[in-house]
Structure 1
Amino acid sequence: MNTPKIMEHNGTRILTTAQLAVSYGTDNRRISENFNSNKHRYKEGKHFFLLEGQDLKDFGKQYANSVSVERVSKLYLWTEKGAWLHAKSLNTDEAWDAYEMLVDEYYNIKDQLPSPPQSLELALQAALEHEREIKNIKSDVDYLKGNMRVDSLQQQEIQQEAKSSIIQALGGSDSLAYQQISRKVFSTFWNEFKKYFKVPRYGDIPKSKHEEAIRFIKLWRPATSMQMEIDSCNSQMRFD
């Protein structure tokens, strides 16, 4: 992803909705929907600036090569903290990766210092405070990425692998055990699976646990008592 065209408002580096959408791999409508659904979390001057009237026209003239304001009555400009809230709402790998890039390469700490600083001490304090905020945000990003739930494709893979493993344990889909006790075996498997991963349903597994989930499924075998029940069912088929 290319670094967006640098723009500032009131001495603060910002991104337009269009720039943010491109960076996060989504569209303007999704960004607007996220904002409208969580307006109570956003504070003007902290997370965004809203330009209207003459302020909008002045901004359009200043960045005429990057932004067109001819057909809009208002324009939202997103600060670093505003971009963080949008990444949190989208909660996709692409959005988090893009946010980390924006922090490192766009919302640069050097450009956030008071200009000109009132004193070297104030400048250093501002730099340290900003650095702490970045570390806290990155820590939150790492935590959220590590706890994101498996996506739909990963859920489908887990379900298919589980079905295959259980049917194999039953002796195949044509076996008498499959016909008689497959529901019981499936239920037992999923109970063991959810207990092991400490989740209410398999779709709640973190992405970081996806490979472990597949390994659990491949290594799973019925408990001794259930295996004996399976063998008993299938032996009836052989006797018949």
Structure 2
Amino acid sequence: MELKILNINGQLLTDSREVASMIGKRHDHLLADIRKYQTVLCSQDFGSEQFFLNSTYLDSRNNEQPCFLLTKKGCDMVANKLTGEKGIIFTATYVTKFEEMERQLINLNQPSYKIEDPIKRAEKWIVEQKEKQQLKLQNAQKEQIINELQPKATYYDLVLQNKSLLSISKIAKDYGMSARTFNKLLHELGVQFRQGDCWLLYQRYADKGYTQSKTHTIDSEKSKMHTYWTQKGRLFIYELLKNRKGILPIIERENQQVG
């Protein structure tokens, strides 16, 4: 039986959908079990992220659905609840697969300067540089997410709390602009910067609760972070554009013309 092991930033993980298929369990039932494990782990001050990482995937209708990425410890926990032949086969499979990937990681982690063959050394150097660029992007993304999770609490924040999130394209539409033009405008105003193909807030705005980031799984090896604006962020943009650029949303421009 096959079990895909993912190498995500050097961490070996497997998808809960793969696990559910292997052990012959409905995926939603496995998710419910994992959530129970997380509750118990957190209640005892165990970091559940050592076992399970929250993730999402897009279903056949392109709708976002929840899933988990399991570490080897997470697989251990699931396996310990299984009995009979399925439990034995699952345990043997994931232990073997994780060990294979661990050996591959050791080989991959050999630095380029230790490789004697000049062509292979050059190829490995190129891979290392790409990994460094990707790591820089991921670190910037993680920093933004951490700051988003720790906004400064004020009464103003409480008044503006709203679970509705907006993409930048929707906010740009309020002003009759494209998302590309709007992102460029916010960059010129010192609000955000581009890292790879992702727009991130500068540090002075990162902890204000203006954005929330979500990571979407593209396939078994790739994922992409998308930044969404909160209602508070939307109001911030409104005040910024009005005060710094004299730019108003279409609806207010129309009201001025009527008045």
Common fold by TM > 0.5:
no
User: When the two structures are superposed, what TM-score results if normalisation uses the length of structure 1?
Assistant: 0.36
User: When the two structures are superposed, what TM-score results if normalisation uses the length of structure 2?
Assistant: 0.34
Determine which structure has the larger helix proportion and give its number.
1
Determine which structure has the larger strand proportion and give its number.
2
